[in-house]
Structure 1
Amino acid sequence: MKKTLLLAGVALTFGLVAASGARADIKMGVAGPITGSIASFGAQLKNGAEQAVEDINKQGGILGEKIVLSVGDDNADPKQGVSVANKFAGEGVKFVIGHFNSGVSIPASEVYNDAGMLMISPASTNPTLTERDMWNVFRTCGRDDQQGAVAGAYLASHFNGKNVAVVHDKTPYGKGLADETQKTMESKGLKPVLYEGVNPGEKDYSALVSKLKGANVDVVYFGGLHPEAGLIIRQMRDQGLKTPLMSGDGIVSSEFTSIAGPGSDGTLMTFAPDPRKNEAAKAVVEEFKAKNYDPEAYTLYSYAGFQIIKQAAEEAKSLDPKKVAEVMHSGKVFKTVLGDISFDKKGDITRPDYVMYVWKKGADGKINYVGNELTN
C-alpha cells in the first residue's frame, strides 16, 4: 500500500513538473501582411521569425524556456493590425516582431504599450513610431528622415538642374519618405516640378503619367510600395515615357519586377547594405537556401529581432518585457545577422545606414537590385 502511494506521489510530482514545464513556454508573435497585395513582405517577416524560433529553440530557448510563435495577419490595414495586437495580448504574448507598415505599427504599438508588451518592427521607418516616448517600441531598420536624406542628396547631386517629380501613396510611410526626400532635395537647391499623391490599390495611373509627360520630367521619385511602383513604371513605359523611377525600401521585393516588367531596368532605390552579404549572416543564409528560400529584404531584420530579445533577456536574467527593454535602451551591443546593433533611448538603431541600388538585368536575364556605382 505504501509502495503504491509512493509511486502515485512520484507520478503526481512528475506530472506537476511536466505541467510546469509546459506553462514555462514563452509566447512571442510575428505580425505583418500575410495576405493581400504586399503579402511578399509578410512572408519575409514570417519566414525570418520561424527560422529564428527554430534556431533558438534548438539552442535551448531563452533562459531555458522554449518559444511558441503566434502569427498575426494584419493585411496591411491599421484596424486589422489593432485586432491582431489585441489577439496577441489576449493570448499572453509578451514580445512581438512586427508590423511591416508604419501605418499599422503605430496604432498597434499603443495596444502593446497598454498590455505591457515589447515590439520590434523590422521594417516600419516612419519617424513617428519612435518619437512618442514609449518604452516598448523598437525597430531594427532605419528611419525615413535618414533614408530621405540619402535619396534627396542623390537627386540633388545627379539630377541637378533637371525636372524632378515627387509622387507618394498618401500613407504614413510613402508620404513621409517622399516629404523627407523632397526636404533634403530642396535644401540643396533642387525643387520638384510636380508633387502628386496617388491612392494605394489604384490600377490606372494614366492621368498621373500624362501629368509626368506634360511636366517633361527627367526622374520620378516615388514614396510607396512595390505594387503601385511597378504599375506606374509599366504604364509610363506603355505611354512612351522612358524616365527612370527612384524609390525607397518599400520596393525591395522580387515581385517588383514581375509587376513593372522590363521597364524596371534602371530603377534607383535606397535600402540598407544587403544583409545577406553580411558575414554574421552567412550560416543563417545557408540555412534558408537549403530550404530553397532566398532571405531577401526584411527576412533577416525579422530574424535579428529574436536574437536581440534573447540576448537582452539573458542580460536582464528576466523575461519581463520592461526589464528586457531596459537592457535594450542601455546601449548594449547585440550580435545579430545584421551585424552589431545597439539602440538609443527612443528605440532606434544607432547605426543608420542607407545606400543606393539600381535594378539591373543580369547575365541570366533577370532584373535584380545591385549596388549603384554612382552613389559616391
Structure 2
Amino acid sequence: MGIFERDTNIYADRDALREDYQPQELVGRTEELNTYQASLQPVINGEQPDNIFLYGKTGVGKTAATRFLLDHLSEDAQQYEDLDLSVVMLNCDGLTSSYQVATRLVNEFRDETNQISTTGYPRATVYEMLWTELEETGGTVIIVLDEVDHLKDDSILYQLPRARANGNLEDTKTGIIGISNDFSFREELSPKVRSSLCEQEIHFPAYDANDLRDILGQRASVAFQEDVLEDDVIPLCAAYGAKDAGDARQSLDLLMSAGDIARKRESTIITTEHVEAGRNELERGRIQEGISGLTEHGHLVLYAILTLDLEGETPVRSRDVRPRYTRFSELANRDPLVPRRMRDHLSELAMLGIISVTERNEGRRGGTYREYGLDLSPELVLSALDETVELVGIHDSIMDRVDVDEGQPIRSTLDDY
C-alpha cells in the first residue's frame, strides 16, 4: 500500500475554486456582460472591432468576463466562412514598456523556433515585425492586454488601434481590449490614446455579498461533495469577501482554505470554524508576504510601532515613534533615516494595511497631524519580524511572546528608549 491515497470525502473537483476555472455561466455580472457583448458585436458582423477599456478593482470579474465572452465569440465565429478570428491574451504584469509588449506580441504569433529577443532591436524594427505578423495572420485579431496599467509608456496603446489608419496594416482588422485595476491609469493616458483605446468603456464595480453568495454557490456545487457544507459557510465567506473590497478571488480562496482545513482535520463537513481558521491562515500569509517585501528600515519602523502598541502607547505621532526607531537602528548597527524618509515607511505600512493612520486636527494652535497604531494582531506581525528581532534584540514588551535563545540579546525598556 502506498503512502498516498485519493481522498474524495470533501472535494469533488477542487480546481473549480481556482482563479483560472471557467464556469459554464458567469453569475453576478449580467449588466456588464450585456454591455460587453454589445461592444464585441462588430466582430461577429465582420466589421472593424471596437477598442474596449475595462476597469475595476482586482477580483471583480474583468478577466473572467473577457475569457468567457471571447471563448464564445471564437466558437460562434466558426459558423461564418468569411470570418477568420484570432485572439491573443497578454498579461502585462512584469512588463513596463511598449517595447516589451511589442516583442512579446511578435513572439505570440511566431513558433518557438523563430522567437526574437526582448532586447537589442530598435523599437521601429519591432513594430515592423509586429505589423508583418499581423498581416500574415490576417482576418480579425483581438489583442487583450490584461493589467495594462503596468505600462509606463503608452506608445503601443496608440500604435495598435491606429495601425490601419496609419497604413501599417492593410487587410488585418485589429481590436484592443485593455484591462486595468487602476482607473487613474486611464486618466494618465494621453488624449490621443484615450480617444483611440477607450472607444467603449465598461466599469466593473465591486461585488456585494449577494453577488458573492451566487458565485460561491455556483463554484461550490462543482467543487464539493454533496452535503459537506454547513449552511452558514457560504454566507460567511461572502460576507468576508464583501468586506474585503468585494473581491471574488479572496472569497474563493477563503472557501478553498476552509475546505483544505476540514480535509486536513479529517472532518466530514466544512463548518464556520474552518472558515475562521482559513481566514486566519490566509491573513497570516498575506501579512508575512507584505512584511517580507519591506526594506530593512521598514522592518525597524514596524518593530518600533509594535513595541509601542504593546506598551499601550498607540495611537502615536511619528515624532514619538522616532526615538524608538532611532534606537533600534543603532542596535542593528544601521544609520537612522531622516524623519521624512521614516514617515515614508509609515505611509507604506499604512498602505499595506499593517498599521492604521488617523488624521488629527487641533485647530490653529495644534495644527494637523497623523497618529499611527498597529492594525493587525501583534502575534501575526511578530511572526514576520524574526530576523529584525534577532538583529535588534528582544524588547521587554515582547518578552512573554517569544522564545528566548541562549545568548540572544534582550533590550529592556529600562534602556534609553
Fold-level similarity (TM above 0.5): no
Please say which structure displays the higher CA radius of gyration.
2
TM-score (structure 1 length as normaliser):
0.29
Q: Which structure's residues are more often strand, by fraction?
A: 1
